[in-house]
Amino acid sequence: MTDELLTMVDGKAGRLRLNRPRAIHALTLPMCGAMIAALQAWRADPAVEIVLIDHAEGRGFCAGGDVVQASTDAVAARAFFHEEYRLNHLLFTYAKPTVAFMDGVTMGGGVGISQPCRYRVATENTLFAMPETGIGLFPDVGGGWYLSRLPGAMGEYLALTGARLDGAEVFALGLATHYVPSAALPALKQALAAQPQEAARLLEEASVAPPSAGLLDRRPQIDALFAHDRFEDVLAALEGDRSPWAESTLATLRRKSPQSCKVSLRLVLNGRERMDFADEMRAEFGIATHVCQRPDFAEGVRALLVDRDNRPVWNPATPEAVTDHMIDTIFAPLPEDEAWTPLGR
């Protein structure tokens, strides 16, 4: 086990508590392995009737995966993504009730361990995003599944821009099942551990009406501008809109990796056709494997997370230079002996 993840049985609840406060609880390979081990042990333990996932201290639930090493080491990247996606799939298929408390920053890998849970609690502190196009990656950990199932073109918008949502917006989009004040969480967790069979009622009783979701006011514009199969068409629609919001959004997209934007857009479009989450994970692992062999991932991590100069030099530098053949290659399935497999296979 690792001290970066605290595991315990509290009453009738298995507790998984992320414990890397200085890194906003970003996931490491040992953390993913420890979560898998605990979940597998609790699956057959009749004393554990529910699983609660939160963070031990500090701000944020989980800022994502710790991708710095993975960005410069393709072998390490494959190992990390393979284990992380196995964890995502295990949570998605877990028979016992699971509750994720998205109290604070919930990005990337944090989305991957919260969205598969049966119950997903947002608070006034929730800050949700899939910002991977800014580091040359794409919204993985099941992002192709979750974002593609959002209403209208909201999935395309969130995947491309990495827009940040507050708790009310997360709840309004169905990415959270409940909205609970953060001050009420300790008592709620205690109650869930004592009466897991009453989880649905306890969560409902702890919930309050969230503030208005500002993003929903923007939905007609988002649907009109982002409902395109080609990234160039999204950019053209934004250029033609000329509203301050469209101009700001266009400026945001111009800073993203053109390759990542095209990959992310196709990921959302393809995700709508998938009926099995394991197929989504298998596809995303293949995409991640190919993306990690291209320059934008290392460059994006360097610019935003290592040197922090926020001046990535993308290659290719323009959407027009990212050819359909290049994207087809990134989406090509891996050979069977290299493909992602769920646990037990």
Tell me, yes or no, whether 160 lies in a domain: no
Residue 81 lies in a domain: yes
Q: Are residues 71 and 110 in the same domain?
A: yes
Whether residue 219 is found in the same domain as residue 185: no
Does residue 326 belong to any structural domain of this protein? yes
**Look-up of token digits 């821009």:** 161
Is 140 within the bounds of a domain?
Answer: no
Mean pLDDT within 194-202:
98
With respect to residue 162, please indicate whether it lies within any of the assigned structural domains: no
202 and 263 part of one domain: no
The residues carrying an active-site annotation are 65, 109, 132, 140
- pLDDT of 70 reads 83
pLDDT for 74 equals 86
Residue 266, pLDDT score = 98
Structure token pair of residue 249: 């959004």
If DSSP states are collapsed to H, E and C, what string results for 56-99? CCCCCCECCECCCCCCCCHHHHHHHHHHHHHHHHHHHHCCCCEE
Q: What is the pLDDT of residue 345?
A: 61
pLDDT band for 340, please (50, 70, 90 cuts).
Answer: very high
The residues facing 178 across adjacent strands are 121
Indicate whether 52 and 184 sit together in one domain: yes
What are the pLDDT digits (tens) for 234-259?
A: 999 999 998 999 999 999 999 999 99
pLDDT (tens digit per residue) in 2-50: 699 999 999 999 999 999 999 999 999 999 999 999 999 999 999 999 9
Residues 121-135: tens digit of each pLDDT: 999 999 999 999 999
How many residues in the chain?
345
Inform me whether the pLDDT recorded for 193 exceeds 80: yes
pLDDT digits (tens, 9 = 90+) for 43-53: 999 999 999 99
User: Could you tell me if 49 and 183 lie in one domain?
Assistant: yes
pLDDT in tens, 291-309: 999 999 999 999 999 999 9
The type of residue at 334 is: L
| pLDDT mean over 111-116 | 98
Give the total number of structural domains in the chain. 2
Q: Do residues 235 and 188 share a domain?
A: no
Query: Is residue 159 included in any domain, yes or no?
Result: no
Q: Are residues 15 and 55 in the same domain?
A: yes
- Domain with residue 281: its CATH number is 3.90.226.10
94 and 218 assigned to the same domain: no
Share of the chain above pLDDT 70, in %: 99
Residue of 199, 203, 197, 192 lying closest to 10 (CA atoms): 192
Domain around 65: 5-129+174-206
Asked if residue 25 and residue 49 are part of one domain, the reply reads yes
| pLDDT tens, position by position, 92-109 | 999 999 999 999 999 999
Question: Does 144 map to a domain?
Answer: no
Average pLDDT over residues 110-118: 98
Same structural domain for residues 249 and 313? yes
Query: Which DSSP symbol is given to 209?
Result: P
Average pLDDT, integer, range 154-182: 98
What confidence score (pLDDT) does residue 228 get? 96
Average pLDDT of every residue of the chain: 96
Q: Do 188 and 283 share a domain, yes or no?
A: no
152 inside domain? no
Residues 34 and 74 in one domain: yes
Entry pTM: 0.96
